[in-house]
Amino acid sequence: MTPPRASPNPPIASGDTTLGLLLRIGFFAVTVFVAVRYLIPLLYLFFGLQIAGTIGLAAAGLTANVLTLAIFDRRPLVDIGLRLARASANHFLFGISLGGGAAALLLLAPLLVGEGHMMLRPHSEFTWPSLIFYLITIFFAAAGEEMIFRGYAFQCLVEKIGPFAAVVPVGVLFGLVHTSNPNANALGILNTILWGVLLGCAFLRSRDLWLPIGMHFGWNAVLPLFGVNLSGLTIEVTRYFYQWDLPPLWSGGAYGPEGGLLTTIFAVVLFLALYRARVRPQQAAIATCLNEPEAV
């Protein structure tokens, strides 16, 4: 069996000084902040909320990763885990099946037992072009958040301080940035933290961004298709909205299912499914410690 091909560039963080690592992560974080602070409002002025909040996130993640890689390491963007290969496609599709399947089961189960109902939304219409546009923008939003939270800076931390020492604090940060979402509640933030840790573990399993992007995209795409809020945001895609008979503790209330105990249960199930799944990892270019058998 031919061993995986190593990156032509040397490891980044393992032999780097703490100051060098802090400079990289600091530059990355500042670039993300500036892009989000100024680019998204600019896009909002010209294209509206959906473009600004989705394409803007992708642009922020792309800009931060490209600039940091080019300035500090002279590496291509694909080194953060975006190489195109058969394994990449397999991981992306498997991620969609995990995230999208979990979201669908979460909403289908109450429908089947009569605790949820699909209600016709008044004065609404459905078109295929709008559905395609919705799926494209949701994909860019998921890819953008993964490039920001599981991209270059996260992978440098994995290499420097270890996989799980990096996954947990970044997962907490991922949850905390959602506190400003409409109708955010404590359980919703906890569930988002769980999802942040879950997506970090997905990167550790696949050693690329395609698996976490697929899981993130699948989950985010399916929820509004059933007419529920996504992290507090109402996105009208179909002619229907989801009416719960369950109390807000389970349904999530105005925040959407991510604010309820059903999502907590499904997040735990996804951890188990991810742990038991047969995932063929790729060769990590930045978090090279993951390429060692004992670290997997």
Asked if pLDDT for residue 45 goes beyond 90, the answer is: no
Structural domain for 205, as ranges? 83-295
Cβ distance 203 to 209 under 8 Å? yes
Separation of alpha carbons 193 and 187, rounded Å: 10
DSSP state of 39: I
When mean pLDDT is compared across 167-171, 196-200, 259-263, 288-292, the lowest value belongs to 288-292
Q: Does residue 15 fall inside a structural domain?
A: no
CA distance 195 to 264: 9
Total-model pTM: 0.93
Total domains, the chain: 1
36's CB contacts (< 8 A; 6+ apart) are 56, 57, 60
Average pLDDT over residues 23-39: 95
What pLDDT does residue 7 have? 46
Mean pLDDT, rounded, for 54-74 = 95
Domain presence at residue 18:
no
Distance, in Å, from the CA atom of 224 to the CA atom of 233, rounded to the nearest integer, reads 9
125: Cβ–Cβ under 8 A, 6 or more apart, which residues?
A: 239
Residue 1 inside a domain? The answer is: no
Tell me whether residue 35 is in a domain. no
Domain-located, residue 158 = yes
Mean pLDDT of 265-279: 95
